[in-house]
Amino acid sequence: MSAVLETGTSKERGVSKRPLNPWKPAKQAKAPKPISRGIGSLNGKWGYLFIAPFFVMFLIFGLAPIVYSTYIAFFNWDPLNPGPQIFNGLDNFTNLLTDDRFWTALWNTLDIWAMSTFPQMAISIGLAAILRSKFLKGATFWRTILLIPNITSVIAIAIVFGQLFGRDYGMVNMVLGWFGIPHVDFIEGTTSSHIAIATMITWRWAGYNALIFLASMLAIPDELYESASLDGATGWQQFIYVTLPQLKNTITFVLIVGTIGGLQVFAEPLTLGGSMDGGSSRQFSTLTLFLYEQAFVNNKWGYAAAVGILITVIVLIVSLINFFITKKLAGEGSE
Amino acid sequence: MLRKSKLVSLALIAGVTSMGLGMVTPARAADPVTITIWTFGDVIEPALVKDYKALHPEVTLQIKKSDLDPLNGTNMVTACTAGNGPDIAAVEVSYSGYWRSYPRCFTDLRTIKNSDGKSAKDIAGDYLPWRWAQGVGYDDSVIGIPTDVGGLEVAYRTDLFKKAGLPTDRTKVSALWPTWDKFIATGKQYMKSVSAADKKSGVGFMDSAGTIYSAVLNQGTTKYYLNDGTDTGKLVYATNPQVKKAWDTTITALNAGIGTRISQFTADWNVGMTKGTFAAMLAPAWMMDYIKSQAPDTAGKWDIASMPGGGGNQGGTQLTIPASAKNKQAAWDFISWYLAPAQQLKVFKTYGLFPSTPSLYTDPALTGFSDPFFNNAPVGKIYSAGILKLKPIFEGKLNRAIDQAMGAGLGRVASKKQTAAQSWAQVLSDLKKVTG
């Protein structure tokens, strides 16, 4: 055992003056520059053409609505009014920042996001680890059924979960009753309604994310596990010191995508409560639900556009934070 | 080269043939037309669609059904803005106040004549005046024709009433509650007979006391807006005594504890209907079918009594032709046929939806209509009597938003988050943001 370690070159020993940190990948040699030949030679001329469809679609369905929304956010806008629209400057924005309904929605969104994202990560990675196990029979079958929640319609999910979380005859309350816990009115309470919505989101996305983690896990070289087990690492230790550090980039990716989705959660609170206001004291009104309510119930399109702009700004800020964290993590790996 | 010329000659032959055929067949009757319809729920009934196809084989009805009517409304806004909508769109009554301020989004049905030479002006007299008014724009243009009417009465469980020592005969039960106060008093009396254990498990006299609000509100002639001839109407929700009366009556009922805390159209509600968690509910005519399908085991245990305060309505739809419709003529032919008394009678017989054409209220099919599920109550007579008591009520532009705020306010009182006074104050401050 020790003989193996002794054979390392002096150069390698020089690098590992610091204790080995499994969270930081070892230095890798730079890949040789690809020779420009074959498909590669198309890069210059044709590359733009190949990526054009995305950018054309983005211009039409992404950028144009953003610009238009920004424009109408400065008006008292009514799309069905044939006459000129009323310009009201920054009123929509200043009103919004003092509107307690907006802050309630923001808080609800963040709370539901936190409640759904972190348990979901743990469940997804756990599921992926089970699916990776060499002892699992019928792996393809299990991997396939993980996607079923994701392809089920949100409306159907909401109906089923609405029944599970019913106050009087719901199954969740029935089980709680066995332990002498009085019935919880999930929809009326703030935290309890957030739990119900977060459960729906988690159920829907945990399997999908597990597959992403699984793909990433399968890319981890077996040698790492072999040498770890040679060093006497238990299965749990291998998971903590080999699997998790190798998943770092995937975790960041899933977190960013999940955050952007989480800030736009809409169908679950809409169908759970069945109304646009997100409950009698707006206890589960989210940002997008608030936007929808302003436009389609209250007929305040300019105000709704202002909400949309603020959601974009919030998503941008969160994405930037994520971006810098990713860059820092990646930067530690390379030069 | 050869291939190309062959194609050209084939096309020529095809063209000549079809021209020849066109000369033989009568041109108008064979013109195939596709009517696109945006609807929801059971507004367009399949049995009648079949009938229409038999009458007009050249017509294809392309029906797009939304599950959630709010989304149907969303599509309508987009359709009007983009000028690209269906030929027929169903508009739910709660949106009628909104659309009445935008008549330019619809075809004025007074200006279009069906194959019998009739426009909306000629058929207006066939419909209940208050129901017709829900499809009239602020500029008096007719934008929608009423489908069924959701007359509101009280459905009650005779077995549970008997257990509580209340009368079970429908005339005697109706006599218990000429007013809402008496109705609430009956509820209190019922609750006295309910055991403490049952009370704890959520048993109540009626399903949801919150439903009293819109029932009382619709018995008046003014809601949140006064008709002042403008496109939106004048806001009077804060001062209208009818609104306060509806609010106060509901608060009294909530505080009396006569309702379960179940919301309608939830899983708990469906279960409660079977389990006898509540003994009474305010039931629109279309609800009878719902009760039958959700609680088939309770057959014969239900009966229908009349509403406190006299009559009521819940729900209803108008069929409209958007301004951008491509087949207006075919659409109007269909609507004026589909909603004519004869067809409404068939819808009533087949699906139990109550007609909005009062000429049918003396038809033996209606007067003789009773249902063993509801203890053979003459539901046809009971419902038509209540419906005839209603008066036109003005629906303003943001009715739905105001209804939502009121409903949330009552919800906060029901769940004891706020006192009635606190909640009312919040309703008013919330509504300032909505209407301001």
pLDDT tens, residue by residue, A74-124:
999 988 887 888 999 899 999 999 999 999 999 999 999 999 999 999 999
* Average pLDDT score over residue span B400-426: 93
* Average pLDDT score over residue span B85-112: 91
pLDDT of residue B258: 93
Residue B235 falls within a domain, yes or no? yes
With residue B246 as reference, give the H or E element that holds it: helix B241-256
pLDDT of residue A25: 55
Residues in B touching A167 (Cβ below 8 Å): 202, 261-262, 268
Looking at the structure, do residues B160 and B274 belong to the same domain, yes or no?
A: yes
Looking at the structure, do residues B107 and B204 belong to the same domain, yes or no?
A: no
Residue B151 contacts residue B383 (beta carbons within 8 Å)? yes
Confidence of residue A35 (pLDDT cuts 50, 70, 90): low
Q: Do strands B88-92 and B313-320 pair parallel, antiparallel, or not at all (unpaired)?
A: antiparallel
Of A227-231, B10-14, B92-96, which gets the smallest average pLDDT? B10-14
- Inform me whether the pLDDT recorded for A69 exceeds 60: yes
Looking at the structure, do residues B304 and B324 belong to the same domain, yes or no?
A: no
Confidence of residue B266 (pLDDT cuts 50, 70, 90): confident
Looking at the structure, do residues B172 and B245 belong to the same domain, yes or no?
A: yes
DSSP, res B127: S
Contacting residues for A21 by C-beta, under 8 A, at least 6 apart: none
Residue B134 contacts residue B112 (beta carbons within 8 Å)? no
Looking at the structure, do residues B296 and B426 belong to the same domain, yes or no?
A: yes
pLDDT of residue A24: 58
Looking at the complex, does the CB of residue A279 fall below 8 Å from at least one CB of chain B?
Answer: yes
Q: For B374-380, which contacts have Cβ atoms below 8 Å and span 24 or more sequence positions? A: B374/B155, B374/B288, B374/B302, B374/B303, B374/B304, B375/B158, B375/B170, B375/B300, B375/B301, B375/B302, B375/B303, B377/B170, B377/B303, B377/B304, B379/B285, B379/B288, B379/B304
Confidence of residue A319 (pLDDT cuts 50, 70, 90): confident
Instruction: Please tell me the distance in Å from B289's CA to the nearest CA on chain A.
Output: 21
- Inform me whether the pLDDT recorded for B17 exceeds 60: no
pTM: 0.81
- Inform me whether the pLDDT recorded for B150 exceeds 90: no
Name the token pair of A82: 């044939």
Of B3-12, B52-61, B350-359, which gets the smallest average pLDDT? B3-12
pLDDT of residue B229: 79
What angle, 0 to 180 degrees and rounded to 10, lies between the N-to-C axes of helices B241-256 and B180-192? 10
Give me the percent of chain B exceeding a pLDDT of 90. Answer: 56
pLDDT of residue A276: 85
With residue B256 as reference, give the H or E element that holds it: helix B241-256
Q: How many residues does chain B have?
A: 436
Residues in A touching B233 (Cβ below 8 Å): none
Q: Which of B74, B267, B405 sits opposite A296 (nearest CB)?
A: B74
Q: Which residue of A has its CA nearest to B264?
A: A274
Residues in A touching B254 (Cβ below 8 Å): none
Domain around B358: 33-149+316-362
Of A11-20, A236-245, B186-195, which gets the smallest average pLDDT? A11-20
- Inform me whether the pLDDT recorded for B5 exceeds 50: no
CATH number at residue B128: 3.40.190.10
| Listed residues B362, B390, B419: the one ending a domain | B362
Residue B22 falls within a domain, yes or no? no
Residue B370 falls within a domain, yes or no? no
- Inform me whether the pLDDT recorded for A1 exceeds 70: no
Question: In the A/B pair of chains, how many CB contacts fall below 8 A?
Answer: 87
pLDDT of residue B199: 86
A269 compared with A38, residue with greater pLDDT: A269
pLDDT of residue B42: 79
- Inform me whether the pLDDT recorded for B260 exceeds 70: yes
Characterize A9-29 residue by residue with b for buried, 16 or more Cβ atoms within 10 angstroms of its Cβ, and e for exposed.
Answer: eeeeeeeeeeeeeeeebeeee
Residue B43 falls within a domain, yes or no? yes
Contacting residues for B33 by C-beta, under 8 A, at least 6 apart: B58, B59, B60, B327, B330
What is the rounded distance in angstroms from the CA atom of residue B195 to the CA atom of residue B132?
47
Torsion sign, CA atoms B224, B226, B232, B235: negative
**For chain B, what is the mean pLDDT?**
87
Looking at the structure, do residues B210 and B296 belong to the same domain, yes or no?
A: yes
pLDDT of residue B22: 39
* Average pLDDT score over residue span A290-310: 93
Q: Which of A82, A163, A275 sits opposite B104 (nearest CB)?
A: A82
Residue B5 falls within a domain, yes or no? no
Residue B111 falls within a domain, yes or no? yes
Nearest Cα neighbor of A273 from B260, B409, B263, B424 is B263
What angle, 0 to 180 degrees and rounded to 10, lies between the N-to-C axes of helices B241-256 and B399-414? 30
| Listed residues B298, B329, B362: the one ending a domain | B362
pLDDT of residue B3: 41
pLDDT digits (tens, 9 = 90+) for B232-252: 889 999 999 999 999 999 999
Alpha helix ranges (H) inside B93-240: 96-100, 120-123, 129-132, 158-163, 170-176, 180-192, 196-200, 211-217
- Inform me whether the pLDDT recorded for B15 exceeds 80: no
**Which of B235, B412, B415 to mutate against chain A (most A CBs within 10 Å)?**
B415
- Inform me whether the pLDDT recorded for B298 exceeds 90: yes
pLDDT digits (tens, 9 = 90+) for B199-225: 888 899 999 999 999 999 988 888 999
- Cβ–Cβ of B202/A168 closer than 8 Å? yes
Number of domains in chain B: 2
Confidence of residue A11 (pLDDT cuts 50, 70, 90): very low
Residue B60 contacts residue B32 (beta carbons within 8 Å)? yes
Looking at the structure, do residues B299 and B184 belong to the same domain, yes or no?
A: yes
pLDDT of residue A22: 58
Looking at the structure, do residues B227 and B89 belong to the same domain, yes or no?
A: no
What is the rounded distance in angstroms from the CA atom of residue B352 to the CA atom of residue B285?
7
Contacting residues for A10 by C-beta, under 8 A, at least 6 apart: none
Asked if the ipTM is above 0.90, the reply is no
Residue B431, helix vs strand vs coil: helix
Nearest Cα neighbor of A268 from A207, A198, A208, A184 is A198
Residue B16 falls within a domain, yes or no? no
Walk me through the domains of chain A, giving residue ranges and CATH numbers: 63-77+85-333 (1.10.3720.10)
pLDDT of residue B24: 40
- Cβ–Cβ of B433/A277 closer than 8 Å? no
B300 compared with B232, residue with greater pLDDT: B300
B222 compared with A3, residue with greater pLDDT: B222
pLDDT of residue B14: 40
- Cβ–Cβ of B417/A299 closer than 8 Å? no
CB atoms within 10 A of CB B224: 27
Looking at the structure, do residues B262 and B193 belong to the same domain, yes or no?
A: yes
Q: Do strands B204-206 and B278-284 pair parallel, antiparallel, or not at all (unpaired)?
A: parallel
B344 compared with B75, residue with greater pLDDT: B344
* Average pLDDT score over residue span B293-318: 89
pLDDT of residue B235: 92
pLDDT of residue A155: 81
Looking at the structure, do residues B90 and B166 belong to the same domain, yes or no?
A: no
- Inform me whether the pLDDT recorded for B27 exceeds 60: no
pLDDT digits (tens, 9 = 90+) for A172-226: 999 998 998 888 888 889 999 999 999 999 999 999 999 999 999 999 998 998 9
Looking at the structure, do residues B399 and B265 belong to the same domain, yes or no?
A: yes
Confidence of residue A296 (pLDDT cuts 50, 70, 90): confident
Q: CA B2, B8, B14: angle at the middle one, nearest 5? A: 135
Looking at the structure, do residues B309 and B395 belong to the same domain, yes or no?
A: yes
Residue B331, helix vs strand vs coil: helix
Nearest Cα neighbor of B279 from B191, B353, B348, B363 is B191
Looking at the complex, does the CB of residue A163 fall below 8 Å from at least one CB of chain B?
Answer: yes
- Inform me whether the pLDDT recorded for B122 exceeds 60: yes
Residue B9 falls within a domain, yes or no? no
